[in-house]
Amino acid sequence: MGSEGQRGPAAARGPGQGDPRALRRDCQHRIFVNRSLALEKIKCFGFDMDYTLAMYKSPDYEELAFNLLLEHLVAIGYPPEILAYKYDPTFPTRGLVFDALYGNLLKVDSHGNLLVCAHGFRFLKGAEILHYYPNKFIQRDDMKRFHILNTLFNLTEAHLYACLVDFFTNCSRYVNCDTGYKHGNLFMSFRSMFQDVREAMDHVHLSGCLKEKTLENLEKYVVKDPRVPLLLSRMKEVGKVFLATNSDYTYTDAIMSYLFDFSHGDKADVPQRPWRSYFDLIVVDTRKPLFFAEGTVLRQVDTDTGKLRIGTYTGPLQHCAVYSGGSSDVVCDLLGVKGKDILYMGDHIFGDILKSKKRQGWRTFLVVPELARELQVWTEKSELFEELRSLDLFLAELYQHLDSGSSERPDISSIKRRIQKVTHEMDMCYGKMGSLFRCGSRQTLFANQLMRYADLYAASFINFLYYPFSYLFRAPPVLVCSPQPLLLTCCASVSLPEGGMGLIEVLGRHPTPWLAGASLSLGALSTPSLGALSTPPQMAHESTVEHSRLDSGDAVTALPPWLAQHGDPGQQVPQDSSGEEEDDGEA
């Protein structure tokens, strides 16, 4: 991979002097950086299973879960008419907040400022929003009222809330109230609706009906990629590999057997081998995020029957053995590694990423499947971003020679209207709720959490296949303050081959314009990021400001088992002061 910098005439210019665009990887293969990480220092690679190693096909998998939820709600007394609703993948996005008082779905920034507000499928504007939220702001630490829908499993839940609100709002049998619906002497609050949906989610996961339906048609619901065994075999050559999943052994074995079921092994001329042979340690029933705290009793699994053996396992690590429960401390002890030696990959910010970093100091890689779509839109709709850039420059010209003593007031009303129109058009390219990462020029809560807690992130862990294990992922410096407008060239990472000069992989445009400030390089001021178009880039010190309580992780033991894997969707991500820069690659 390091040879990518030696193409054409650029090679004759000497190290570090070639065309940066010639060094960039394919857009869909890139890994993006929030904190520097030297891959050669990683001694152990850890994986979650659901939505990480095992990617579920969208929207088929979400449709399955959605239909099961509807069936359960009807079974407990909801009107059978709701069965007419179909899952719409263009509506929900992760990171939405459900207001259990007024029944609204909200898209907010990291401080609780409202970006989008929907009641059912109707988007509220102006006076309607002010009726519910006079300051266009929510107190995110009110966790009994505001519930964050942060996981990929929450996509169906978010859509179901919208469907139920839409149905009862438009059903003539029910009287609309601010906090729910009235039918005769009965009153159904939005809070009780929320509780019913949460109980339905518990039922779908705990009863095993979702898993059963998935296993009945694996080809329809699970992505099978021959690159998975190839990458894991390469990782095992340079370090240790472990699996830590909340799923039980029976389901894990079925899913993993399917993922590794090829006519050959990791190479065409190598015979197929059991999936367990790709891992040094396998732990099921981990009950994350409890797994990253005190954990549970470590037991050994009988792989023939799937049953647990009696008593706590206290012996050494056994090859191809499977364990149940335990804790992250047990993983470190069995594998003989320390926290900083581990790079753990998962899909959930709270259950996988935040807790592994805060409690154990593990390095973290967040899987963001939506990133592939976001990058596609960014590429296909580049003319919209260019128009925003032009409008921003025009605004700068109008104010260029004015100061506090100027009486002149430029008329910018038409420019503001045009910015709003282009921004709305841009947001709608991503879906009805807009981008996962931004709303116009403002960063979403999800984007802020990603920047704070994930060292690396990409659409898939498979992207490691396109980087050498000697790679240095370098987070470029970000100015504490920057004037507006500032046009920035954006950098994803730096490769430092042994004994060689650093080769900067620079993207022609910022691949994630919504995350301005997460990985910006100030080496050349030529190509804009979206963050530079309307507002200065997010400053490093600003990204740690949250309206949330310091830590509520001690309460995670009350979560149901299926929910514990992904964290409580209503759980606020606590503040973290552990975002220090690593010394990787520092001269």
Dump pLDDT digits (tens) for 524-573: 222 333 333 233 333 222 222 223 333 333 333 334 444 344 444 344 33
Residue with tokens 């390469």: 234
Backbone angles phi, psi at 260, to 5 degrees: -105, 15
Q: Which of 48, 266, 280, 455 is catalytic?
A: 48
Exactly one of 19, 26, 50, 141 is catalytic; name it.
50
50 is a catalytic site residue: yes
**pLDDT band for position 271 (cuts 50, 70, 90):** confident
- List Cα–Cα distances, 372 to 26, 272, 407, in angstroms: 12, 31, 48
Return the pLDDT at 3.
Answer: 36
Q: Are 117 and 123 in contact (CB under 8 A)?
A: yes
pLDDT class for 359, splitting at 50, 70, 90? confident
| 217 pLDDT above the threshold of 60 | yes
Alpha-carbon distance values, 128 to 131, 138, 182 (Å): 5, 15, 21
In the predicted model, what is the mean pLDDT of residues 570-581?
37
Q: For residue 272, what pLDDT is reported?
A: 84
In the numeric block, the tokens 């609780």 are attached to: 112
Residues 6+ apart with CB under 8 A from 402: 408, 410
Least confident interval from 58-72, 107-121, 296-310, 526-540: 526-540
Work out the pLDDT band at 308, boundaries 50, 70, 90: very high
Nearest in space to 513 (alpha carbons), one of 483, 534, 484: 534
Task: Give the mean model confidence (pLDDT) for residues 108-114.
Answer: 95
What is the rounded distance in angstroms from the CA atom of residue 174 to the CA atom of residue 286? 44
Contact partners, residue 168, CB within 8 Å, separation at least 6: 174, 176, 181, 188
**Long-range pairs, 263-266, Cβ under 8 A, ≥24:** 265/229, 265/233, 266/229, 266/230, 266/232, 266/233, 266/234
Is residue 48 part of the annotated active site? The answer reads: yes
Of 162, 164, 163, 182, which Cα lies nearest the Cα of 172? 182
Instruction: Compute the Cα dihedral for 268, 269, 274, 277 and give only its sign.
Output: negative
Rounded to a whole number of angstroms, the CA Rg of the chain reads 25
Residues 514-526 as b or e (16 or more Cβ within 10 Å = b) = bbbbbbbbebeee
pTM, rounded to two decimals: 0.80
Share above pLDDT 90 across residues of the chain, in percent, rounded to a whole number: 67
Q: CA geometry: angle at 552 spanning 245 and 550, to 5°?
A: 125
More confident residue, 174 or 6: 174
What is the spatial distance between Cα 20 and Cα 505, in angstroms, rounded to a whole number?
Answer: 6
∠ CA 410-413-414, nearest 5°, is 110
Helix axis angle, 190-206 relative to 209-216, nearest 10°? 50
Decide: 447 and 437 in contact? Cβ < 8 Å: yes
Burial class (CB in 10 A: 0-12, 13-18, 19+), 576: middle
Helix (H, G, I), strand (E, B) or coil at 216: helix
In this predicted structure, the answer to whether residue 152 has a pLDDT above a threshold of 50 is yes
Residue type, 317: L
Mean pLDDT computed over every residue of the chain: 82
pLDDT of 87 strictly over 60:
yes
> What is the predicted pLDDT for the residue at 481?
54
Q: Sign of torsion, CA 459 547 146 576?
A: positive
| pLDDT of the residue at 357 | 85
Dist CA 485 CA 528 (whole Å): 9
In the beta sheet, which residues pair with residue 240?
Answer: 44
Give all strands of the β-sheet with 322-324 in edge-to-edge order: 32-33, 456-458, 363-367, 342-346, 44-47, 240-244, 281-284, 322-324, 299-300
* pLDDT on residue 266: 61
Neighbours of 86 (CB within 10 A): 11
**Dist CA 96 CA 118 (whole Å):** 10
CB atoms within 10 A of CB 271: 8
**Which of 152-161, 260-269, 496-505 shows the lowest per-residue confidence on average (mean pLDDT)?**
496-505
